[in-house]
Chain A
Amino acid sequence: MPVTVKTFANFGEAASALSSDRSARYLGGGTLVMRALNEGDVSISTVVRATDLALTRIDVASSRVTIGAGVTFARILAERELAFLHAPARSIGGPAVRNMGTVGGNLFAPSPYGDFTVALLALDATVSVQGGLGARDMPIEEFLQSRERQNGALVLAVSCQRPAGADAFRYRKIARVKPKGGSVITLAAHLPSSGGRVSGARIALGSMAATQIRARAAERALEGRALDDTAINAAAAVAAEGVSPADNALGSAWYRREIVGVHLRRLLSGLE
């Protein structure tokens, strides 16, 4: 079914067009919206695009990095200053998908996709959104919890603090096909330490609920402790607390619950 395509040079105008039409969807890299159109999704009657360069900007000048929503994974991989995000970017699709798929679109990718968002959730990212009522920044957790209602808003950028060191941020994607494949489970952990003890741990899981979620019980098990076998085992033992995975062709809900602790232990122990 033909749709109306509206292209704007300015993201503000695109955001207005998006918020005023319930059947409008924003087209970024195309890997989600074009797929829906190819499958005959009749809920989309208008496609909104913005060619605004502000959406493809990367700012790495300070300790906080800001990535425009329209930045592709290939561009993240080409940016040396974003080395901490290379593992999650590389784990997405094949080269063509990485040339197309964007950081902003990944926030909307349903399970078993959305791996980059798992990394952003562990890094406590902030999502900048332009809605009908203006622009606002919201914590990524709040964004994900209200994701179903965010279709009418335009994501402008995401930002996060750089991890303290290379070892403070870890990422692991379990897929059946390597190097490309949908996620059985995706895990990311940000483990800042102070005086040899974990302080402010954030562990995020993908494909373990309707949206990416935090493993709060596992975070609590690590808090204030050295990252030793005892602490790691305690975190792994409670990794499945609060998860509600689905059955799909890549793995059953039962299987995902069984192995999430195993993979969390490997992630925290630094095992490959």
Chain B
Amino acid sequence: MTKTALQFRHNGRDVALFVDGGVNLLVALRELIGDMTPKFGCGQGGCGACSVLIDGELHLSCLTLAETVNGRAVETLDGLKDGPNLHPLQRAFMEQFAAQCGYCTPGMLMAAKALLDRNPSPSRAEVIEAISGNICRCTGYEPIINAVLAAASGGRARA
């Protein structure tokens, strides 16, 4: 089986690798690039733990054929922080106790980022809609919704 050459932008950095046919983006990110922030949850598109942004759009990396991101920009949770400084969403998640076991958190943060990038002051209903593809089995969602709303209003206050 031949391998396919693949080049894309990973959190602002160019990467080049060879992938087997049929390999999904989640495997490429975790096993070939070593970015462990996207998680494997279901492999079916049901849980959202593997959510990443491709050219700014929220996608499920487990259902994305790796070679389809050739030439595109992939953002994962690993690229959210700026050096030692956490992203406002990450700070809000910490302050609002929005992570318990933490397995859904990378996907939740990317779904929330996709929302805030296009709508900096969402309503509660819009936040619920934005994270509706992400399953959390610990928090009951309320702290997560509050954290996204807090990050949105915090961002406004600083602006």
A interface list, Cβ under 8 A from B: 1-5, 7, 27, 29-31, 34-35, 37-39, 47, 49, 74, 93-97, 99-100, 179-180
Given contact pairs A27-B65, A34-B63, A96-B59, A47 touches B22 in the complex (Cβ within 8 A): yes
- In the complex the two chains form, is A95's CB within 8 Å of B63's CB? no
For chains A and B in complex, what number of residue pairs have CB atoms within 8 angstroms? 89
B64: A residues at CB distance < 8 A: 30, 34, 100
- In the complex the two chains form, is B65's CB within 8 Å of A47's CB? yes
B35, CB-defined interface residue at 8 Å? no
- In the complex the two chains form, is B134's CB within 8 Å of A94's CB? yes
The distance from the CB of A92 to the nearest CB of chain B, in whole angstroms, is: 10
Residue of B nearest to A38 (CB): B43
- In the complex the two chains form, is A95's CB within 8 Å of B1's CB? no
Stretch at the interface among B7-15, B89-97, B124-132, B151-159: B124-132
- In the complex the two chains form, is A34's CB within 8 Å of B62's CB? yes
From the candidates A5, A7, A97, A179, name the one contacting B60 in the complex (CB within 8 A). A97
Known A-B contacts: A2-B23, A30-B64, A95-B132. Give 12 more (CB < 8 A).
Answer: A3-B21, A5-B65, A5-B67, A34-B62, A34-B65, A47-B65, A94-B132, A95-B58, A95-B115, A96-B133, A97-B45, A179-B128
- In the complex the two chains form, is B67's CB within 8 Å of A39's CB? no
Q: How far is the CA of A37 from the CA of B68 in the complex (A)?
A: 15
Most buried by B among A30, A94, A179: A94
A3: B residues at CB distance < 8 A: 21-22
7 contacts across the A-B interface (CB closer than 8 A): A4-B1, A34-B65, A35-B63, A38-B63, A94-B131, A179-B129, A180-B133
The distance from the CB of A112 to the nearest CB of chain B, in whole angstroms, is: 12
A99: B residues at CB distance < 8 A: 57-59
Most buried by B among A2, A5, A96, A100: A96
